[in-house]
Structure 1
Amino acid sequence: METKRLVLRPFQIEDAKQLYELAKDINVGTNAGWPPHKSVEESRKIIETVFCQDDQYAIFLKETNELIGAVGLSPDTKRLNPCIKSLGYWIGQKFWGNGYATEASKRVLIYAFEEKKLNGVSVVHFSINEKSKNVISKLGFVYEGTLRYASRRYDGVELDDVEYLMDKERYEKVKDDLWRE
């Protein structure tokens, strides 16, 4: 999949070194709930076990072919409905503030509703993650609620989950904005 500035494609083992360079940063994984990667080998294993699943995409800059993050759809662990998936994304810190998470997520939402014909897409952020909240707001999700102390991060910190949903009806209302680059 492509956008104006980005290429979204499945991860490949060859991406492990670039993934490690981004994922070793404590500020990247901590906001998403996972520990910093400790080695290229660990990043390779993450590609083989996590990023190998369906609908998981590496995000590359078209201009430089540089890996900048990841985006994807996963089963929604809080809903038993297989026609609703959960959107996840992260961007390497040196690429923050450029709108890449929003741009990549727009493309995945279009794919989710237009090609996969999902009934809905959920998204969650920790209450401490304002950057993710801003992305979700730009995408047009509807706030559903906050689950207090819903997650325990890898370092033992308990965090609130802030929950949002975009169903088919909401998608129809915002899809013109999503298609606009």
Structure 2
Amino acid sequence: MLIHKIDDELSLRLFNVNDAEEFFNLIISSKHYLREWLGWLDYVEKVEDTVETIKSRLQALVETGGYPKSVAIIHNGQIAGTIGFNEINKVSKIGTIGYWLGEGFQGKGIMTKALKTFVNYGFGELSLNRIEVSIAVENKRSRILAERVGFVEEGTLRQAEWLYDHYVDHIIYSILAKEWNEN
């Protein structure tokens, strides 16, 4: 099992099927909070739904030749959230990162460290040239995070995502390998 220790409290690791109940409970306990920005939450109704999600994440290891596209964010031994590449364009060497943290783990610098680590992984291990994040315009915390890590705002995609009963615009942020390596 891949484990990347960031510091004494924080690590990234592959999900495994034994994580299903804990991951499900995190999603359910943060559902109201996360629902503002994540459109898939109503599809998670039982532990078996997270089992299937974890299995598909593990299957992605085969598709990528052994590189994980997404991992669990572990804070003090608990699953705090997840981060991963929602999409990787191998030809153009572009990755699109998605991430979220459970409500109780917010405001502790966890996602800043996890995002920096995953950007390093994308440029170092996956040899990407560009990494993007697409963030709802009103998701100010996530936008501040991207900017703090060094992503540059590029533009707005109008009505980019349907969230339950309305569309939201997204801002595209990116960082290039040469910019990251200069930091």
- State the 1:51 CA deviation: 6.2
Per the alignment, residue 158 of structure 1 pairs with 167
Question: Do structure 1's residue 92 and structure 2's residue 102 form an aligned pair?
Answer: yes
Structure 1 range deviating more: 94-103 or 2-11: 2-11
Per the alignment, residue 55 of structure 2 pairs with 48
Q: C-alpha separation between the residues in 2 aligned to 1:74 and 1:60? A: 19
Report the RMSD for the aligned CA atoms in angstroms: 1.9
Write out per-residue CA displacement over residues 137-165 of structure 1, whole angstroms, 9 at most, x where no aligned residue. 11100111011111112x13201011011
Write out per-residue CA displacement over residues 84-107 of structure 1, whole angstroms, 9 at most, x where no aligned residue. 001111000011111111111111
How much identity, in percent, do the aligned residues show?
A: 27
Structure 1 range deviating more: 35-44 or 4-13: 35-44
Per the alignment, residue 83 of structure 2 pairs with 71
Unaligned runs of 5+ in 1: 175-181
Consecutive aligned runs of 4 or more in structure 1 exceeding 3 Å deviation = 79-82
1:3 to 2, 6, 10: 6
Q: TM-score, normalised by structure 1?
A: 0.85
Q: C-alpha separation between the residues in 2 aligned to 1:74 and 1:55? A: 7
Judging by fraction of residues, say which structure has more strand.
Answer: 2
Q: C-alpha separation between the residues in 1 aligned to 2:77 and 2:130? A: 31
Contact 1:55–1:72, Cα closer than 8 Å, also in 2: yes
- State the 1:71 CA deviation: 0.6
Question: Do structure 1's residue 134 and structure 2's residue 144 form an aligned pair?
Answer: yes
Q: 1:45 to 1:29 in 2, by over 3 A?
A: farther
Write out per-residue CA displacement over residues 55-106 of structure 1, whole angstroms, 9 at most, x where no aligned residue. 2101112xx3111000112325xx7854000111100001111111111111
Contact 2:57–2:69, Cα closer than 8 Å, also in 1: no
Contact 1:22–1:28, Cα closer than 8 Å, also in 2: no
Q: TM-score, normalised by structure 2?
A: 0.84
Unaligned runs of 5+ in 2: 61-67
Write out per-residue CA displacement over residues 7-63 of structure 1, whole angstroms, 9 at most, x where no aligned residue. 1111111111111111112222441332243221212122122565232101112xx
Per the alignment, residue 63 of structure 2 pairs with none
